[in-house]
Structure formats: structure tokens, C-alpha cells
Structure 1
Amino acid sequence: MTEPDEVDLDRPNAARVYDYYLGGSHNFAVDRQMGDEAIAMWPELPQIMQANRAFLRRAVHYCVEQGIRQFLDLGSGIPTVGNVHEVAQLAAPGARVVYVDTDPVAVAYSKTLLTDNPDADIVRADAREPDEVLASPEVSALLDLDQPVAVMMVALLHFIGDESKPREVIARYRDAVAPGSYLAISHATAEGRPDLAGDHADLYQQRTTTPMTFRSRTEIGAFFDGFELVDPGLVFLPQWRPVSPAEVGDNPERLTALVGVGRRL
């Protein structure tokens, strides 16, 4: 894959730093430098990111088990191994997936990866602009919004500041999808490690164009307005439907993201 011309190599990008945390190869020196600084401050970060990825896989499996065959993955990032289309289509061949991201590296690599997959595509768009996303040719071609859809907002909303009115953004997607649709959210919170969250947020504020907003359990829970949270509700990363007790460990709160899946009423 050739580098898109508009890639900014002077500033770290959150999607590429996340790829680095996961051990991916679609990142640049500036991203790796910031990732190393963040890990030096917070050594559990790679474990948190891996747990976040595991939640995404479990959430997709859950939605497939509920009969969902359409997925809209907002802020999808760079599609490393185990992304939504791989999980969904392995469990339910023919499941349709549309990814959405603004990062040119994520979009270019996704386009290459999905070339021979007629049931998956990516839109280069800002998830904060629901009307633009929902009116895109890719969404129109692959998703029937009159039928239930799983909307994935995994590690996205903490990069959407309050000034962008995230509750209104989510409500627009909620109102566009059919009853029986699902919303999956993972969101960074200071609960569990308040001693580290502030410095981590400062690093993203200073170094990237996508500052982080750590939110409380109450604030994150409010994003599910119009959805009924499925069991076990809003919990820390490893506590959401773990495959085994070993996944949860003794201190799940140290993996500082709250996650949940809700069914549209």
C-alpha cells in the first residue's frame, strides 16, 4: 500500500497509535514515539487495547447471535486482525459491514483489504456527521436501515469532545436505524486509575489532533438513551460476557474503559 499524499507525518494519529499498541504495522515513527511515551507513563496500555479488541469481537458475536447481519463501524481505525467483517462473516457468511473513518491511512488500507469482499466497504467520513455517513453510497449499497443494524462505537466517543455534542450524534444514528438494532460502546474512563488518566489525556491534547475526554459512568450510561442495556450492563472491559473467568482477573477496573451493548427500543 502506498502512503496517501495527505498523511501528516509530523503529528501522531490516534488510529495509528492504537494500531501500534495492538502490535500492528500500519503506523509511523511519530506514532510509535508517542505510543512509547504513553506506555512509559501507563504500562498497562497495550493490555487495555487488547482487552478493547476482545470486547469488540465478543460484541460482534453477540449481535450475530441475536440475528444481526448488518454492521456500521464508526471510527473503525486501521483494520488489524479480528476486525468486524472478519468476525461477523466467519460467524454469518454474507453479513454486511460498512466501516467509517477519517484517517487516510485507515481508509487506504481498508480499501485494499476489502477489494475482493463484496459485503464490506469503508467510507471516508467524520462519524460526527451522521447525515453525511448515512447518505453515503457505501451505506446505501450495503445496509438496509429498515432492518436492524449493529452500530459500533468502540474506542470512538472519548475522541469526541463535549463541544461536538456526542449525545446528539448518537441520537441521530439511533433514530436512523430500525427497532431491534444494537449499539456497542467502549469508552475511556478515569474510574479505576484516576492517578494516570489526567496525564494521559494531556499527552493526547498536546500531541495529536484528537484529544481525549475521559467520562464518568453516568455520562457514558447516558449515551444509551433510547436503548436497553443487555446484561451485564455497563461494566469494565473484561467483565462484558467473558469467555472464561481468567479473562476478568482480580482487578478488572485497572483496564479503564467502560463498555456496554444496548438494544434499540
Structure 2
Amino acid sequence: MGAQFSKDESRVLTYSQDETIRIWTLNGLEGPIILSGHSGRINGAQFSKDENQVLSFSEDGTARIWPLADPGNPIILSGHRGGIHGAQFSKNGNRVLTCGNDGTARVWPLADPDNPIVLSGHSGRINGAQFSEDENRVLTYGSDGTARVWPLADLDNPIVLQGHEAGLFNGGVIGAKILSDGGRVLTYGSDGTARIWPLTDPDNPIVLQGHTRGIFMLGRGIVGGGVQGAQFSRDEQQLLTYSLDGTAQIWILD
């Protein structure tokens, strides 16, 4: 479940275990718009940039784009074989990126949603995916312990960032981002490390090792360690990491 304000804070979007999304008008003069159609738990929902549409994604293996002027006719993005755990609009709103349990990420052109670009290569669940700043590449990361940078013009030759330990379910690589220079990638994972990968020399990452390794417990997920999040300082010369081992660490980068 989750919620977010619209930009002008006049509306709130919510999604819940009842498999619906609702758009609430805070002036109280109108009832909520109810977006109903998913047949499994909704894992996320967000407004489009112009806030005229809502993107949702679900355990039912679909993502949906709901035009708020005509909510009964969503665009349904169907093709994943399992739950979808991440989705985002491109900057211009013409494409949607999704990733899921089936080990694939997909880039859907909304003008032709029956023909997505399929990024296939991970051997387990993809925990997350994001466009690069110029949106010519896609970064994916997953439970198989790898991250991959896919040039959308040359899908047969992704850069594979391999070094983290694989994990179960949402373990492995927990988070990743492309740095502002476009030439490096940050990853962090359940093995207790964070890594900075130069894309021109991906076999030689900087390995930041100090947190304890996470332990998977059935019904509880990763406990006791693993890097759960990381954030650069503004100049990207320091990195803050935090862990279920009860510590946060600040790394000074050369």
C-alpha cells in the first residue's frame, strides 16, 4: 500500500490491498475516482508528469496506465510472467519501463504497447530498473547478484556488473543508480557491500566493505545486515550507506 500528493497538493493518490487505486480530491466536494481492474496486490502507483494519467503495477503481472478523464479504459501492459515490482514513465511520458519476478525488464512504447522491448538476461527476480538520464540506456539489478546496463540500440551487448553475492527473493543487488557523469554505476546489496563500477572498466569496481552480510529468514526476508540504502553527497565525493546491522557509514571517495 502507498500514497502520494499531487504536485499542487489538491489531490491524493492511494493504493491498497483491495486491488484498487483511488484519487481523492481534498476539497471534499467530490468522491474519489476509483481505478479498478487489477487481480492481484498492487505494488506501486504514481501520477504521470502532467498528472492526467496514473501508472500502476501489480502482482497480477500487468501494469496499467489510467487516463483520469476516461478511467474505464486503461492501457494494459501485459506480458510479464509473474509480479511486477517496479515501473516508471519516461520523461516525455511516451514509454513505460517495468521489471519483475520473471527476470525481465520491458520498455513499452505507449503508441504500440503490444510490442515492448524485452531485456532478458537475469537469472532471477529483477529488484529494480531505471532509465539513464538520456534514456538511451536502462539499468537493471536483481537477486542473481548482478546489475546490467542495456544500450537500447544494442540489446545484445549489455554491460554486466558481476561481483555481489546472489540472494533469495529480494536479496542480491538491492539498489543501484547511474551516477551523474553517466560513466559509473553504484550498486549495493544483501552481501553487505556497496560497489562503484566504472563502465569503461567494469571488472575493477571500488568495493566498500564494512557492513555485515544479511541473513535470509523465511517470512521475514533479509535480516541482520546487508546494505539497504545508499546516497551520495552533492559532489559525489562521499557515500552514505545504511544497513540492518544497525550502522550507517560514510565513505570518503578518492
Q: Give your verdict on TM over 0.5.
A: no
TM-score, structure 1 normalization: 0.27
Q: Which has the higher contact order (CA 8 A, sep 6+)?
A: 1
Task: Decide which structure has the larger Cα Rg and report it.
Answer: 2
More helix by share: 1
More strand by share: 2
TM-score, structure 2 normalization: 0.28
